[in-house]
Structure 1
């Protein structure tokens, strides 16, 4: 019995090219399963796991850590007697008078031992989810795109409402 390659007058692929073809086939399978349509008719990838390709689908992953320079520049506040009854939202211990705490841009106060580990894992305030900048360019681009989409959606809603008033 003749081999497949002899029967079809083909040469076997070299291992490097075969691996590349397998990666492309796997990508095509994932893309096919992740394809969807938006109301505007544009195509989007909704369920694809981009991590294998060096990209991340930020809608389904935790945000990256806050930028180190931003975390280092967060203001330190000394607790006065008027704020001594406040508690750290993470450990729930009351702040002591004259204690130095970290103040987030949203004005929430935290012990440094409580907030620094959190910001090394994600870029947002644990209470209100106010986001700090990150060192991840792809995430920052995702935030800009998301803001543009929200602004466009808002404009469309206002335009639709203006047509019927």
Structure 2
């Protein structure tokens, strides 16, 4: 009778462990679906749609003759790739793209939004995921704690 009790205890432990792992996998799945994010490449494509880049040419309407990028403070040279935002401020493409990715996607000069806030939030979520890619560790610790409690219960 004692061996039957041990076998039933082990079956119970294995069943609880199986369901714990199943719940953990479901939690990871739901958590991943809730964290919709935009990669940096997708973010830059959206920036290109909202404010396409072009080549700088002195004397062309829309560009100042003695213009300089307000981010890097370097003067524009013929053929430089520049991005003109809706607020009519112009910057080197690389400079303003880096600026837009950093925080809230606003013009460096007038702080007018360049992208909708939902795009900015989704990109920020992606950046946070890159820095904190160990988010499932808490769930694994919980599983380990559950596993340890089940084993002690039947030892």
Greater helix proportion: 2
User: Max radius of gyration: which structure?
Assistant: 2
Shorter-chain TM range is: 0.3 to 0.5
TM-score when scaled to structure 1? 0.41
